[in-house]
Chains A and B, each alone.
Chain A
Amino acid sequence: MRPLEYLRLSWRSIRGHKLRSALTTLGVVIGIAAVIAFVTLGASLQAGVIGDISPDDQRNAYGWAADPDVEGGPLAGAQPVFSQDDLETLSEDEEIDAAYGYMPLSTQALVYEDEISPQSDALVAAGPSYIREETLDEGRQFESGEREAVINPAVAGQFEENVSVGDELTIVLQGGQGTNVTVVGITEDSEGLSPFEGFEPSPRVYVPTDPYYTEEAATMLPGDGGPGEDGPGEDGPETENPETEEPAALQDGDEADDALFLAIVVEADSADDEDVDAARERALAYLESDESDASELLGDDLEVTLQTSAELLQQLQDVLDLLQNFIVGIAAISLVVGSIGIANIMLVSVTERTREIGIMKAVGAQNRDVLGLFLAESVILGAVGAILGTALGLVAGYLGAWYIDLPLVYPLEYVALAIVIGVLVGVASGLYPAWRAARTDPIDALRYE
């Protein structure tokens, strides 16, 4: 008898007990669905996150100073310690291509052609090369010292009329003062450009630290105000004396040196691990040495962390992996329970169909035919459970990925694996019942009421 015939006949008997078969496969469905959903979500998350590291980003090391006991992602517990002087010194190092400060700035609103759009954390001050060429959809990087900005599509599309390159925006800062910028570039998408920003898309305006941050820094008490405050500097320092804003703008030159950055970006010459490590070591060595301004502010409690995107992501990945292993563990238990369910129903089925087995044997069915028929039945149950579970898991995973706005990834190898596992579950749970069926004595079976 041919394998296809086993499947055909077995499918008939499964269809004969629709509800029972459906309930039997439920354990497998749930187990497989859980795995597939989380694998899909994980793969999408990975693609969304890793996909953001362009080759250019890979030569960046992101640094901040924090108490080493503070746990968390980038900028957790960060204190502003990096001075303009330090950055200039670093930039001159031969291992370092560029070094610039990074500073998220609090805002109240963005104004475009008299239209006001309230925004709290839309402003990011950084160096020109923070805007990498390939992330630009149109226009160019801003230039240091100019009142220029690169915006992302979330900002551009926020107003009645789309903002385009060359337009003027007014940014209302936390203190209430407005400052004008000329849009010189628009990025391709609205996701963060570095781990500092996070990965979820949100409206952002990128401006040069000089003049935007140096101006604002001048409005606070230089030096001592910074490190004493906590938080990523978004709402701390500048709330103290909004009246002094005008002088700050005028005193440009001198005050710029006192601006302290919350974070820095150190760009190596290339994305090679060696170059990145060399740049990082040089930067760390300098920042921790007595020559730097930062070393004074670091004191005993703070430590500088300099990490690449990949390393920062690895931490996220580790958490994700742990979660995934946990889910896979639960799913494995669910599959074991599912197998027991199938085995149980198959045993009931063998007993119920004793007479049928007797008839089949009387008309010439060999033991292996009966074995094949029952095994095919449990394999169908397992495989159907796996297919339904995969479909359910994909839907759930995609809904999840769509909800948190990640790119959809099709983990095809897992789909194939799920179906193989379903078949294996079917074989494992059907083996004993099928063997019992196969060795049924036809004489006893025919006498069975």
Chain B
Amino acid sequence: MKTGSAVSLEDVRKTYQLGEPVHALDGVSLEIERGSYTAIMGPSGSGKSTLMNLVGCLDTPTEGTVVVDGRDVGSLSSRERTQLRGATVGFVFQTFNLMPRLNALENVALPQLFQGAGRGERRDRARTLLERVGLGDRADHLPNELSGGQRQRVALARALVNDPAIVLADEPSGNLDTETEADVLDLFAEFHEGGTTMVVVTHERHVADRAERIVHLLDGRIERIESLEEEASGRPSEPGSSD
């Protein structure tokens, strides 16, 4: 399993009890291979974020099993889950991704802090990653001194800093203009090429088209899985009808 799947979900259910039970996820089974690039699409409320939370070890399933990097998330204590998350998952969110009072370098270095890395080591690693996302000269800037695209790049650098088995992005380009969005997506592609497992949640077809496959969710179930393997290298121009 360790070599094959970074994440594997088996008949996962997530139910919220609000008077009447809400099935945010209703029997999802999915394998995410190491080094793969997966997009998750679906209408609002279809369970995308819920799925991300499970894959990202932020949450545990009501039923079924979630295995991340070879470990059953449901059987872990909250401490162990946090430990696993810190070491194997990198997050990129839509907005307000960064700690407002830490500069770019410190933001990138933050996850290492919780892993107990020393200061010098953290700074070196963070600087390398900032350079890889093209922000070597912005290390001292606070988030509000950076553009939206630059912030997302810092967030991506931070997601990668602990060398995670998987990077999760929940609508990472939702707030960006087309050009900056293209920049960020190019970076995703670049890191994917470098061997990082990418999972991107999006509403937008052209974002999803950059992935190797698209998982379509509807009402907490996988509606279909669309493979884009062939077209992945060349950009598909098909405008894409949202399910």
Contacts and interface: CB of A to CB of B under 8 A. Distances in A.
A442 B58 contact: yes
A365 B91 CA distance: 13
A359 B162 CA distance: 15
Interface in B158-198: 158, 162
A364 B83 contact: yes
A5 interface: yes
Contacts of B53: 443
A362 B56 contact: yes
Q: Which among A5, A13, A359 has the greatest number of chain B C-beta atoms within 10 A? A: A359
A355 B101 CA distance: 13
A1 B100 contact: no
Contacts of B115: 364
A424 interface: no
Contacts of B83: 364, 366
A443 B14 CA distance: 14
A412 interface: no
B97 interface: yes
B110 interface: yes
Contact of A366 (B58, B90, B100, B114): B114
Contact of A364 (B96, B99, B100, B162): B162
Contacts of A16: 100-101
Contacts of B100: 16, 356
B76 interface: no
Given A1-B113, A356-B100, A363-B158, A443 B59 contact: yes
A369 B101 contact: no
A363 B86 contact: yes
A213 to B, nearest CB: 78
Nearest to B142: A16
A280 interface: no
A364 B114 contact: yes
Interface in A367-395: 367, 369
Given A356-B100, A363-B91, A443-B53, A1 B85 contact: no
A363 B96 contact: no
Bin the interface of chain B by size: 20 to 34
Interface string B5-44: 0000000000000000000000000000000000000000
A88 to B, nearest CB: 85
A235 to B, nearest CB: 73
A1 B115 CA distance: 7
A361 interface: yes
B114 A362 contact: no
Given A355-B96, A443-B53, A446-B93, A363 B101 contact: no
B116 interface: yes
A14 B98 CA distance: 18
B220 interface: no
Nearest to B99: A356
A360 interface: yes
A439 B99 CA distance: 19
Nearest to B79: A366
A12 interface: yes
Contacts of A361: 58, 82
Contacts of A356: 99-100
B114 A1 contact: yes
B90 to A, nearest CB: 8
B232 interface: no
B102 interface: yes
Contacts of B102: 12
Contacts of B58: 361-362, 442-443, 446
Contacts of A355: 96
B87 interface: yes
Contact of B114 (A12, A365, A446): A365
24 contacts: A1-B113, A1-B114, A5-B113, A16-B101, A355-B96, A359-B96, A359-B97, A360-B114, A362-B58, A362-B85, A363-B86, A363-B110, A363-B158, A364-B111, A364-B114, A365-B86, A365-B114, A366-B83, A367-B78, A369-B114, A442-B58, A443-B53, A443-B59, A446-B58
Interface of B: 53, 56, 58-59, 78-79, 82-83, 85-87, 90-91, 93, 96-102, 110-111, 113-116, 158, 162
* Shortest 6 CB-CB contacts between residues of A and residues of B: A364-B86, A363-B111, A364-B114, A16-B101, A365-B114, A362-B91
